[in-house]
Chains A and B, each alone.
Chain A
Amino acid sequence: MSQEARPEAPSPLDTLAIAERAVALAEAAGGTEVEALVSDERAQLTRFANSEIHQNVAETNGSINLRVAIGKRVGVASSNRLDEEGLRWLAETATAIARNSAELEDWGGLPEPTPISEIATAWSDGTAGATPEMRAEGVRAVIAAADAAGVRAFGSFSTAAEHLAVANSKGIRAMQRRTTAQLLTVHMGPDGGNGYSEQASVDATTIDAAAVGRDAAEKARASATPQSVDPGDWTVVLEEPAVVDILSMLAYMGFSALAVQEERSFAEPDKVVGSELVTIVDDATEPGALPMAFDYEGVAKQRVVLIERGVCRDVVYDAQTAARGGVTSTGHGLPAPNSYGPFPLNMVMSAGATSRDALVGEMERGLLVTRFHYTNPVHPKLAIVTGMTRDGTFLVKDGRIVGPVRNLRFTQSYLGALAGVVAVGSERRTLRGDFGGVLVPAVRIEGWTFTGATEH
């Protein structure tokens, strides 16, 4: 092959046709209910450390997940062989599993078709066409900002495009395409200062790499030579990346119908869990939450109010938990088999009335926290979580940042944190949570419990 040769990327798969073919094969093999989920994903990530690109990757993957029920016996098989031979193997395998499985007594059946509206804002040609040169250009802009501040840059710039289709034997024919892009960086200075910044978007071309670099650089410089403060109860201003962790953890621990049905959730209808300033919904049509039209069972996404003015309202359902609960799916199913249950993938927290400056400016004494690190539930039903601060923690006195502090460990009920919210920022940012897009403001919380400290 000559150096000039540039083989073209393979054309997008006809995901819906593959799904329909798999359904037909599985029905022919004896499945009484069949569902096929087909994904065609092109994902790339350029990673940098010490202000140079050190890892740079791309993948092309088509995959299929086939769920087959024979009566109440259910089997699932998955593969990334999408040719006729592969689909036949898949249909036979899933059907054989179903035939040899035990009955699921309360099997609720596959979902029925729901009207699905295309979400045009979920796709960007700019992201789908992103090149390694484009990502490298963005990385160089981040590094330039670090160089200008005398710090080093560590982070990643990722782009992804996915075509997704679901077909089932009850008539669901759903197809969507989505793109996501994320640029994040930790800038690290010579005197122990760290700063974090991130932008996420459907459209990679809207990400301002230089601005991300400048934000992180400014914070890294400001957090140099941190001092120790004692753990204890503090008033904190949590910036958006830290707030994302709270929402993601609460989703993990309690916003799922299965968690409620198994009695491991904190969520109960009309239970007061937060201050009146806290409203959280899952809204997959919200452009800022990296939208999607339907879930992995092909059910249209519904807007679900999780917490309204501090009061628990509802949780999210997939087909199986909806059948158990005598309701309809809210469109929050994950790929089968899924013993964990449904999940909110597009959470949005309502903005408040407090400006970014006032969140800190109205704090008499407290800490400004950029983000958390390695959080983990200690007691899920009480929503007690432990974790560390990182990449920019500052002491605030009389409304002014007076200096950086070393990182602290917290052991804190996230429900208690919602109850302690006294101010919510008027601006919101789109960030990537553990499993989807999240649109959140910064918040001020009273009584945040830090339980330990580290050396940096």
Chain B
Amino acid sequence: MRDLSDRSLDTAVQLGASYADVRVVHRRDESIAVKSGRVEGVAAGESEGFGVRVLVDGAWGFASSSRLATAEADRVAADAVRIARASATALRHRVRLDDRPRAHGTYETPIEEDPFAVPLEAKIDHLLAADEAARTVDGVAFTETRYDAQRETRTFGATDGSWTEQTFTHVGAGIEVNAIEGDDHQRRTYPDADGGPFKAAGYEYVRGLDLVGRSGPLAEEAVALLSAPQCPSGRFTIILDPSQLYMQIHESCGHPTELDRVYGTEASYAGTSFLTTDKLDEGFRYGSDLVDLVADATAPGGMGTFGWDDEGVAAQQVPLVQSGIFVGYLSSRETAPRIGRQSGGAMRADGWNRIPLIRMTNVNLLPKPGLSLDDIVASTDDGLYLASNRSWSIDDRRLNFQFATEVAYEIKGGKKGRLFKNPTYTGITYEFWRSLDAVGDASSYVMLGTPNCGKGEPGQGGHVGHGCSGARFRDVQVGVGKW
């Protein structure tokens, strides 16, 4: 790989590139899907290739290929240079990158049990057992149990002499139970929908989920939701379980702090951000004093954990919100200088055939000593406890959001009680985070996240992490729409 990388870089420089980098990526994945006791899909895959990114005359070009050959390295590098020259014909600002130390070294996800070494039959049997446990409950319509694993090796070389080699292992597993009656369809998932969340870990993470033990109670709750009352509408105190809070963080904290969005480079697809740079200068109050958010690319187990990002910037912890005040962005070598800072190391690419974009690493809401999540419930006289994300939507500046969860539990006198179905809640991002009045302590802190964070054209999926412990919000609009 080193030879092909060096050849690509040399060719790019010979043809006029002032800077170039190249990533060679090999990705291996494995998936198992069990539906209602049937092994519907077992698959293994691999994908490999390389991508060359160049700066010519201050403009970007990128080309990539799955053919790992010297002649193709020349062709791809030349194509990238040609593309950059075409970019330069519609350029108003030459790209300037910040300085960073030359990157050198290796990184590997720490794992205890290699998921690819666990026999396939054992993994299938594990899922079948969980699926069977769910289907013993009367009223279950269908179930889906999934397992996914991915291993990616990635080298990065650049014309400044940087060279890194990294290996990432991510796994995920989960169960979904569906109950249907007439037009009503209720669902419960564990630990999250779509077989997630993944974790940067080995098969020990899957074993620790206790899918079999959790399936029966999950199924009972899915069936119980069919006869549960509709979630009431009005303004409520709500407590978000980590299984929902991580998605709230993702959409209303993670995405709006991406500095490329702020500068409009995602405008036509995913939109921009209300967190404009003047708000950084003025110390905008994003949330209440209890809100501390950090983008932490070093967090154990997080899908956004690495040694270096895809520009060769070392992993770091970047404060985004401190005591409720907006203080920082997810950034890159190109965007950070525009706010007078160094890159925060958040450039990540989805495979060999995509350019790096500013992506979340692990955007975490830090736990607060004092109250456990149970204590928060106990200190709530009247409210709702919402768990397990079902639906998400937020406007193109990340202000107006609406989420649905799979379940709401009524809270009366500090105790969780009856179920409500079809809960939804909505708000404006900064108003919502300012209404936070309690964050759980470390006892309920978990690293969650999503392997499907969409961004960019052509589309890219991102593996991002979110650590959180649960939190309480006051005076939130609950129950949206006609049911």
In the assembly, what is the distance between CA of A77 and CA of B274, in Å? 44
Question: With A and B bound together, what is the CA distance between A10 and B74 in angstroms?
Answer: 12
B206 interface hit (Cβ, 8 Å): no
Q: Quick check: which of A23-31, A111-119, A378-386 contacts chain B, the rest being far away?
A: A378-386
Per-residue contact bits, chain B 71-82, to A (CB 8 Å; 1 contact, 0 not): 110111011101
**Among B66, B391, B393, contact of A62 (Cβ-Cβ < 8 Å):** B66
Question: A61-B353, A63-B66, A79-B47 are contacts. A452–B400 as well, Cβ < 8 Å?
Answer: yes
Binds A, one of B107-115, B180-188, B216-224: B180-188
Contact between chains at A63 and B42 (CB < 8 Å): no
Task: Tell me if B48 counts as interface (CB < 8 A to partner A).
Answer: yes
- Whether A275 is near chain B, meaning CB under 8 Å from some CB there, is no
Task: Provide the bound-state CA to CA distance between A140 and B79, in Å.
Answer: 20
CA distance A170 to B300 in the complex (A): 49
Contact between chains at A264 and B480 (CB < 8 Å)? no
Partner of B48, one of A80, A264, A384, A451: A80
CB of B42 within 8 A of CB of A101, answer: yes
| Interface presence of A405 (CB below 8 A) | no
**A-chain residues with CB within 8 Å of residue B208 when the two chains form the complex:** none
Bitwise, B422-442 to A at CB < 8 A (1) or not (0) is 101010100000000000000
* A153 to B90 CA separation, bound complex (whole angstroms): 12
Q: Is B167 an interface residue (CB 8 A)?
A: no
Which residues of A370-398 are within 8 A (CB) of B?
A: 373-382, 384, 386-388, 390
Alpha-carbon distance between A57 and B87 when the two chains are bound, in angstroms: 10
Residues from chain A with Cβ under 8 Å of B400 in the complex: 388, 407, 409, 452-455
Nearest opposing residue in chain A for B12, CB measure: A1
* A75 and B64 within 8 A (CB): no
The stretch of B263-271, B340-348, B411-419, B461-469 in contact with A is B263-271
A48 CB-CB contact with B under 8 Å: yes
B399 on interface, CB distance cutoff 8 Å: yes
| Chain B residue with Cβ nearest A337 | B41
- List the A side residues contacting B16 at CB < 8 Å: 3
Establish whether residues A158 and B457, one from each chain, have CB atoms under 8 Å apart when the complex forms: yes
Min CB gap B388→A, angstroms: 14
Surface stretch bound by B, among A129-137, A284-292, A350-358, A418-426: A129-137
A227 within 8 A of B: no
Q: Is the CB of A52 within 8 A of B93?
A: yes
| CB neighbours of A76 from chain B (8 A) | 41-44
* Residues of B with C-beta under 8 A to A152: 264
A76-B41, A78-B46, A454-B399 are known contacts. Are A374 and B394 too (CB-CB below 8 A)? Answer: yes
B90: which of A57, A105, A136 is its contact (CB, 8 Å)? A136
**Beta-carbon contact of B185 and A379 below 8 Å:** yes
A104 within 8 A of partner (CB): yes
Within 8 A of A (CB), among B98-153: 119-121, 124, 128, 141-142, 144, 146
Question: Would you call A409 and B426 a contact (CB within 8 A)?
Answer: yes
Q: A136 — nearest CB in chain B belongs to which residue? A: B86
- Beta-carbon contact of A56 and B83 below 8 Å: yes
State how many residues of chain A have any CB contact under 8 Å with chain B.
100
Contact A97/B59 with A102-B39, A156-B268 known, Cβ cut-off 8 Å: no
Q: Which residue of A lies closest to B266 (CB)?
A: A49
Proximity string of chain A (431-456) to chain B, C-beta cutoff 8 Å, 1 when within and 0 when not: 00000000000000000010111111
**Interface residue count for B (Cβ, 8 Å)?**
97
Cα separation A190 to B81 with both chains bound (whole Å)? 34
Q: Which residues of B contact A62 (CB under 8 A)?
A: 66-67
Point out the residue from B72, B83, B402, B422 that lies within 8 Å of A10, measured CB to CB.
B72
Which of B30-38, B236-244, B323-331 sits within the interface?
B30-38
Residue B397 at the chain A interface, CB threshold 8 Å: yes
Binds B, one of A180-188, A298-306, A308-316: A180-188
Task: Check B84 against A56 for contact (C-beta < 8 Å).
Answer: yes
**CB <8 Å contact, B457 and A156:** yes
A272 at interface by CB-CB < 8 Å: no
Known: A375-B393, A455-B428. A55 touches B63 (CB 8 A): no
| Distance from A453 Cβ to chain B, minimum over Cβ atoms (Å) | 7
Q: Which of A81, A375, A378, A451 has the most CB of B within 10 A?
A: A378
As a 0/1 sequence over residues 1 to 31 of chain B, the CB contacts with chain A under 8 angstroms (1 = contact) are 0000000000100111000000000000001
Whole-angstrom CA separation of A2 from B176 in the bound complex: 58
B374 at the interface (CB under 8 A from A): no
A64 to B132, CA, bound (A): 34
| Interchain CB contact under 8 A, A339 and B35 | yes
Shortest distance from the beta carbon of B36 to any chain A beta carbon, whole Å = 8
Determine if A386 and B393 form an interchain contact, defined as CB atoms under 8 angstroms apart.
Answer: yes
Contact of A378 with B404 in the complex, beta carbons under 8 Å:
yes
Check A456/B41 contact, CB under 8 A, given A59-B64, A102-B128. no
Binary flags per residue of B37-58, CB closer than 8 Å to A gives 1, else 0: 0111111111111010000000
Residue of B nearest to A381 (CB): B185
A377 to chain B, nearest CB (A): 6
Q: A78-B46, A80-B48, A381-B185 are in contact. Are A57 and B141 (CB under 8 A)?
A: no
**A-B CB proximity, top 10 nearest:** A337-B41, A411-B481, A132-B86, A7-B75, A454-B400, A78-B45, A76-B43, A381-B185, A154-B267, A59-B353
Given contacts A78-B45, A264-B178, 13 further A-B contacts (CB under 8 A): A50-B92, A54-B60, A56-B87, A58-B62, A75-B43, A94-B44, A97-B42, A143-B90, A376-B392, A379-B422, A381-B180, A386-B481, A452-B400
Q: Give me the interface of A with B, judged by CB distance under 8 Å.
A: 1-3, 5-10, 43, 45-63, 74-81, 93-94, 97-98, 100-106, 131-133, 135-136, 139-140, 143, 152, 154-156, 158, 184-186, 188, 262-264, 266, 336-339, 373-382, 384, 386-388, 390, 407, 409, 411-413, 449, 451-456
25 contacts between A and B (CB under 8 A): A1-B74, A52-B92, A53-B90, A55-B457, A56-B62, A56-B83, A57-B83, A58-B79, A75-B43, A76-B42, A77-B43, A80-B66, A101-B39, A101-B120, A104-B40, A154-B264, A156-B268, A186-B267, A188-B264, A263-B142, A339-B146, A382-B185, A386-B393, A388-B396, A407-B396
